[in-house]
A = this chain, B = another copy of it.
Amino acid sequence: MEQTAIRPQKGLPLYLQLKQMIQAQIASGVMHPGDRVPSERELSDRFGMSRMTARQALLELVREGFLYREQGRGTFVAHRKVNQGLLGVTSFTDDMRLRGVVPESVALDQVLELADAEAREQLQLDIGAMVVRLKRLRLGDGRPMALEEAILPAHFVEGLEDHPLDKDFSLYAYLRERGILFQRAHQTLEAVLAEGDQSQFLGVLPGAPLLLLERLSFRQDGQPMEFVRAYYRADRFKFFVDLNQG
């Protein structure tokens, strides 16, 4: 832990600068798993900040799994960072890129319609509300990966009808640009067998195993904003998630 510059308001809050510095030391191997990190008092002395500021940096790193603390002993570098950050809500596009696969979408259907009972229930809409329904075939490196249907309240996506949905278009990037962000999602996964349409679009035999994913996403204020039902080819897709706390 060298005395690199950390002091001034160079745009970034102090605690974030400290956090990044510690993170860098772990990543670069300067500090090893099990090593003790300097105490809150030591950090605040060394970098001329208050103890609460150093504390905030350490606590965030603990929450993110880089460090762990033991009462009365100290703060230590965690042993193996479990797949950093994959606790977040991911989009198909990001997901594929992360795996080094080139994502692609083919729009099969795209309609503006009255929300049916299921959509109203999931998205908590009133009778008469309109929704956009997007049916897409998802490709990875040009091969069919998943058949996906997304339903969103129409007011979130005005103008989307004129948007090209093919190629590497990401619905999530589109929403991000418009300032619409997810905060939380509830997701279920089950195993089903391919039938009818599904096997044709995905290029598998009827009876092949599929992973059925259903996801309801919420905005920051807790309002539901997207319901997705997607069928993934089991031989090409494995879902993973990191869980915290015991």
Chain A contact residues, CB within 8 Å of chain B = 33-34, 52, 63, 65, 68, 70, 76, 78-83, 87-90, 124, 172, 181-193, 207, 209-211, 217-218, 220-224, 232, 234, 237-246
For A83, give the chain B residue with the smallest CB separation.
B186
Copies in the complex: 2
Our pick among B207, B222, B237, B245 for the contact of A80 (Cβ within 8 Å) is B222
Known: A88-B245, A209-B192. A218 touches B82 (CB 8 A): yes
Judge whether B190 and A237 touch: CB under 8 Å. yes
Closest residue of chain B to A183 (Cβ to Cβ) is: B246
**A237 partner residues in chain B, CB cutoff 8 A:** 190
The closest CB in chain B to the CB of A185 belongs to B243
A179 to B187: give the CA distance in the assembly, Å: 31
The smallest C-beta distance from A232 to any residue of chain B, in angstroms, reads: 8
19 more CB-based (< 8 A) A-B contacts, given A190-B238, A191-B192, A191-B210: A33-B222, A34-B221, A78-B222, A79-B221, A80-B218, A82-B186, A88-B243, A89-B244, A89-B246, A183-B245, A184-B243, A187-B240, A187-B242, A187-B243, A188-B238, A188-B241, A191-B191, A209-B209, A241-B243
